[in-house]
A and B are shown apart, each in its own frame.
Chain A
Amino acid sequence: MSEASSGTHPVLIEQDVVLARQLVRRLAQECGMRLIDLTKLVTAVSELARNTVVYGGGGYMDWAVVEKDLRPGVRLTFRDEGPGIPDLKLAMTDGWTSGGGLGLGLTGAKRLVDEFELETAPGEGTRVTITRWS
């Protein structure tokens, strides 16, 4: 796999969620992603970026346009140095929320992308990496 271009985008406040979505929409369009896949990816970004702001206390989104077997894709890492997720199994359960959400962001995002990886440690933060191939 190779990286064509990459960068980092702040995800500090609510408005950054909108900006992150716009950036990823552009990246996905640039790699010729179909509308359906693009919509799924952008929705996953919305969920993860909002979690970063709301629960992670703000963080960053590393983005990269990647390629595997001549297939382009978009890879994103949402990272924060917030409280972390104490019970990952619970957090990855449909409908479970510690706030006032629907509890579908993490599980939904996982279903919307091709690859999903979550690392978290209490007191150290959370890091979610997703990839969607076009």
Chain B
Amino acid sequence: MATLQAKTIQALQDNRTDLLNEWTHSLEATGATRNLKGDDVKQQTGEFLNLLADALHNSGSQNINHENWAQTRLFLEKLSHSRALIGQDSQQTASFIFALKGPVFALLQREYASDGAHLAEQLWEVSELLDGLGMHTIRTFQKSREAVIKRQQEELLELSTPVVKLWDGVLALPMIGTLDSQRTQVVMESLLQRIVDTGSEIAIIDITGVPTVDTLVAQHLLKTVTAIRLMGADCIISGVRPQIAQTIVHLGLDLQGVVTKANLADALALALKRLGVNVSKAV
């Protein structure tokens, strides 16, 4: 197998400043640096060129799985992970490496201007190397992104949604967080079960802890309310803050006669009234 010649490695080092400039330009041109800090990009491109030079010097091997490439691999893993976290896509992240190809190819063309055979060979070798590093970046990016998503999913599912008994015959369900469909299903089932178990007449669903009420959340709420009514019980939705109320109106949602209250205390007062419980202040 042909390898990168010492001349190529030397050229990469001697032209470090030019390479950095051209690389940064081409990163900017492809939009790969949007929503990244200029300083970070400068620091990362510089560090990568150092690592590349070290690895090429020390290893004589272009097999990036070799232990001499461990530092470079780790650097790319950290890079792609940090980009997955800030929501860059895989293409933008991989461009970090691929955008270096243009400047390096141009450099080789100048270096081997009179040596066509070697030029072709060296271009091929550099290309293989950068492709390998780029693919490594994409692979770890995908893993990072999956990890980010998995963690978030777990956080959402973890949030416990206790069904609490507020009074004989009155159950409350304080919902907290994002009502993604999976969790809403779990929550709804446990509420319905508790209504049966306790023979409750009124269920209060408190959405104080739900930041966004959109059509999907509304659909889940309406289904739950319908199921509760079919079981012969009543339902009150509390925690409808002014901003949520206005949003519901703009969305055009019809809560189909569902009784709503601004807070849990008001909902409980109404529930007790319906049950015929007289609440009066102690003198």
Number of interface residues of A (CB under 8 A): 34
**B87 and A19 contacting across the interface, CB-CB below 8 Å:** yes
Contacts of B219 in A (CB 8 A): 101-102
Pick from B156, B212, B215, B244: contact of A101, CB under 8 Å: B215
Q: B104 to chain A: closest CB distance in Å?
A: 27
B residues 239-280 with Cβ under 8 Å of A? Answer: 242-244, 246-247, 250-253
**B247 and A18 contacting across the interface, CB-CB below 8 Å:** no
Give A113 to B33 CA distance when docked, in angstroms. Answer: 29
Is the C-beta of B41 less than 8 angstroms from some C-beta in chain A? no
A residues 84-116 with Cβ under 8 Å of B? Answer: 94, 101-102, 104-105, 107-108, 111-112
Q: A107 to chain B: closest CB distance in Å?
A: 6
Pick from B34, B149, B244, B250: contact of A15, CB under 8 Å: B149
Q: A83 to chain B: closest CB distance in Å?
A: 20
**B34 and A43 contacting across the interface, CB-CB below 8 Å:** no
Give B242's nearest chain A residue, CB to CB: A36
**A102 and B152 contacting across the interface, CB-CB below 8 Å:** no
Q: B147 to chain A: closest CB distance in Å?
A: 12
Name the prevailing secondary structure of the B interface residues.
helix
1/0 contact string of A1-40 vs chain B (CB within 8 Å): 0000111111001110011010101000000000110111
Is the C-beta of A46 less than 8 angstroms from some C-beta in chain B? yes
Number of interface residues of B (CB under 8 A): 31
Contacts of A42 in B (CB 8 A): 211-212
Is the C-beta of A50 less than 8 angstroms from some C-beta in chain B? yes
**Known interface pairs A8-B89, A102-B218. Does A111 touch B35 (Cβ–Cβ under 8 Å)?**
no
Q: A77 to chain B: closest CB distance in Å?
A: 13
**B253 and A10 contacting across the interface, CB-CB below 8 Å:** no
Is the C-beta of A133 less than 8 angstroms from some C-beta in chain B? no
Q: A126 to chain B: closest CB distance in Å?
A: 17
Give B181's nearest chain A residue, CB to CB: A14
**B35 and A5 contacting across the interface, CB-CB below 8 Å:** yes
Pick from B180, B181, B243, B250: contact of A111, CB under 8 Å: B250
Q: A47 to chain B: closest CB distance in Å?
A: 6
Give A87 to B21 CA distance when docked, in angstroms. Answer: 49
Q: A50 to chain B: closest CB distance in Å?
A: 7
Give A23 to B250 CA distance when docked, in angstroms. Answer: 22
Is the C-beta of A60 less than 8 angstroms from some C-beta in chain B? yes
The 5 A-B residue pairs with the shortest CB-CB distance in the complex, in nearest-first order: A7-B35, A108-B251, A46-B214, A39-B243, A111-B250
- B residues in contact (CB < 8 Å) with A: 31, 34-35, 87-89, 92, 149, 152-153, 156, 178, 180-181, 211-216, 218-219, 242-244, 246-247, 250-253
- A residues in contact (CB < 8 Å) with B: 5-10, 13-15, 18-19, 21, 23, 25, 35-36, 38-40, 42-43, 46-47, 50, 60, 94, 101-102, 104-105, 107-108, 111-112
